[in-house]
């Protein structure tokens, strides 16, 4: 399993941020902290919050980086009408730039007009591990408001280790299938050993295929890559819209380069001051909040498999948990050509996947009904496959591999041993009676990572930056609303914009109030008043 993912692709093809088993907080960059060490505990490695603040880099570009900042991109057609692609170089190790490069995939769609061009608008859909280039080509470059696309060149770069940018690879499709079906609610010592073995095998696969790259996929390094891209594009300041984990990336950029931060929108915000354990625990509570909203909607509709009018979320949750327990003992058929059955682990991820977007609730009702009443797990398997980005034929994108690589480098692990997970189970199960047990065990994966973490929890203040708009959704499953409040409070120029609703992220998801506020900021530079609320 994996932890702290905040990205998934919806049925309509738009890439949103967030995910069951969450996304990571930003790396601190400089300090190296070993998991389980006194320094890690002091920094929040177990249950605490940050005691450090991300410091800005020097305003002057080091001479050793001048070749990167001065490079010219060679744009070419990339097979998608209206889009151009290029390859940008960045140092693999910013402390030792002479030791080699990493090649990053960049794409753009030029401003269409009318109106004066405002520069480049960089977008990132989150993850970590989500392809920004794919997001641009499939959604942002054609689905962002026409007035925004008219004035900005829409630009994306796949972060290092992701998709087209020297992707981290770990397991082939067959081994990944086995990994996703591993029981992540172990009932005894044997099942615990099997889960640990799955985590160890995943980590060993990543270490064997990308031993050097794994040390250099941190959020700080990705943010520094964005500054090279800003300069190469000819922009004095960065204009940026980041969703979910992309808010960590954008906030990190502002913390490192506050004088170069232009109009930044951080939608579905994360709190970089929290430890991995706190992040996972609070995200677990976020999925419970979203599940309760789903239940309240479901029981009002005919045929809800979790109950009818008068059924409480608690009762519905116990029914779903019992169904998961039945699957643990007896997986149900799915009709999958590769012979996969619906296991407890796949069903849980299928339900979690639908929590990201209330538009998927009907699909979830129908899929649960088929599985619970007719022993047909095909619908939940489709939802699970969409979460893992499993393609027809059994191959996977590198989303899950990059997700773990960034998460495990950015923060000390949430847990170091199975015993620590068992001790924390009551807290996780209190946060979510339905998902708590599974999400607690999923938080163990980084304990076996082959590379030591380079980051730690920290505050981001970005003193001196222009106004930064931080967007939070009150019933967001993957990035709980309190994270947006926390990040807006940390940023010296943060402006909190609230969407009172369901689903993950808010921009472009149906709220005229949210869209108007963000569009006005991007086009005119006028941020919404701090504390603005929309529904």
| Active site amino acids | 244, 476, 504
Helical axes 378-388 vs 344-354, angle rounded to 10°: 70
Whether residue 402 is preceded by a cis peptide bond, meaning omega within 30 degrees of 0, is: no
Give the count of beta carbons closer than 10 Å to the beta carbon of residue 463.
12
Is residue 182 within 8 Å of residue 1, measured between CB atoms? Answer: yes
Contact indicator for 155, 146 with CB cutoff of 8 Å: no
Dihedral-angle region of residue 14 (phi above 0 means left; psi in -120 to 50 means alpha; beta otherwise) = beta
Which DSSP state fits 228?
H
Cβ 447 vs Cβ 40: under 8 Å: no
The answer to whether 445 touches 404, Cβ cutoff 8 Å, is yes
Phi, psi of 269 (to 5 degrees): -75, 150
Q: What is the 3-state secondary structure (H, E, C) of 297-343?
A: HHCCCCCCCCCCCCCCHHHHHHHHHHHHHHHHHCCECCCCCCCCCEC
C-alpha pair distances (Å), 303 with each of 307, 362, 368, 370: 8, 11, 10, 11
DSSP codes joined into one string, 275-310: -HHHHHHHHHHHHHHHHHHHHHHHTTSTT-TT--TT
**8 Å CB contact between 28 and 36:** no
Is the link from the previous residue into 114 a cis peptide, with omega within 30 of 0?
Answer: yes
Cβ 470 vs Cβ 269: under 8 Å: yes
Neighbour tally for 429: CB within 10 Å? 16
CB 388 within 8 A of CB 402: no
Confirm if 345 and 184 have CB atoms less than 8 A apart: yes
Partner residues linked to 368 by β-bridges:
none
Element (H, E) at 207: helix 189-209
Neighbours of 39 (CB within 10 A): 14
CA-closest candidate to residue 107, choices 72, 157, 142: 157
- Yes or no: say if 167 and 161 are a contact pair by the CB < 8 Å rule: yes
């Amino acid at each position: 399993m994996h932890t702290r993912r905040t990205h998934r692709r919806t049925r309509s093809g738009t890439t949103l941020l967030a995910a069951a088993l969450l996304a990571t907080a930003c790396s601190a960059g400089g300090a190296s902290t070993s998991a389980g060490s006194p320094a890690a505990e002091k920094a929040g490695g177990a249950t605490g919050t940050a005691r450090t603040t991300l410091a800005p880099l020097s305003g002057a570009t080091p001479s050793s980086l001048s070749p990167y900042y001065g490079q010219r991109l060679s744009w070419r057609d990339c097979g998608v009408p209206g889009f151009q692609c290029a390859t940008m170089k960045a140092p693999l190790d910013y402390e030792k730039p002479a030791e080699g490069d990493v090649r990053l995939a960049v794409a753009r769609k030029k401003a269409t007009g009318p109106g004066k061009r405002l520069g480049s608008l960089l977008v990132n859909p989150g993850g970590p591990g989500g392809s920004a280039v794919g997001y641009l080509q499939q959604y942002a470059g054609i689905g962002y408001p026409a007035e925004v696309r008219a004035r900005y060149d829409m630009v994306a770069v796949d972060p290092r280790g992701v998709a087209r940018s020297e992707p981290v690879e770990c397991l082939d499709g067959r081994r990944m299938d086995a990994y996703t079906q591993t029981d992540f609610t172990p009932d005894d010592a044997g099942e615990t050993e099997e889960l640990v073995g799955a985590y160890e095998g995943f980590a060993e696969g990543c270490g064997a295929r990308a031993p050097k790259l794994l040390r250099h996929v941190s959020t700080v390094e990705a943010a520094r890559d964005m500054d090279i891209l800003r300069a190469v594009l000819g922009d004095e300041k960065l204009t940026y819209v980041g969703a979910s984990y992309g808010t960590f990336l954008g906030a990190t950029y502002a913390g490192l380069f506050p004088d170069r931060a232009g109009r930044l929108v951080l939608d579905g915000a994360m709190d970089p001051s929290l430890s991995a354990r706190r992040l996972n625990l609070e995200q677990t509570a976020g999925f419970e909040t979203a599940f309760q909203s789903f239940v309240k909607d479901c029981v009002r509709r005919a045929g809800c498999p979790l109950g009818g009018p008068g059924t409480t979320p608690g009762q519905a949750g116990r029914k779903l948990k019992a169904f998961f327990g039945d699957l643990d003992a007896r997986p149900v058929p799915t009709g999958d050509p590769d012979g996969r059955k619906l296991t407890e682990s796949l069903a849980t991820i299928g339900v979690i996947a639908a929590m990201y977007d209330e538009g998927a609730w009907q699909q979830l009702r129908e899929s649960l009904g088929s599985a619970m009443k007719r022993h047909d797990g095909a619908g939940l398997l489709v939802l699970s496959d969409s979460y893992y980005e499993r393609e027809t034929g059994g191959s996977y994108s590198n989303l899950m591999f990059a997700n773990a690589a960034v998460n495990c480098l950015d923060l000390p692990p949430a847990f170091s041993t199975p015993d620590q997970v068992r001790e924390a189970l009551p807290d996780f199960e209190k946060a979510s009676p339905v998902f708590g047990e599974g999400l607690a065990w999923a938080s163990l994966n980084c304990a076996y990572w082959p590379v030591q973490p380079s980051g730690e929890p920290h505050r981001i203040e970005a003193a001196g930056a222009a106004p930064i708009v931080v967007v939070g959704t009150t019933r967001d499953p993957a990035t709980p609303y309190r994270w947006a409040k926390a990040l807006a409070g940390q940023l010296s120029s943060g402006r909190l914009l609230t969407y009172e609703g369901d689903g993950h992220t808010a921009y472009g998801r149906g709220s005229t109030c949210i869209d108007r506020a963000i569009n006005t900021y991007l086009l005119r530079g006028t941020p919404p008043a701090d504390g603005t609320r929309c529904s």
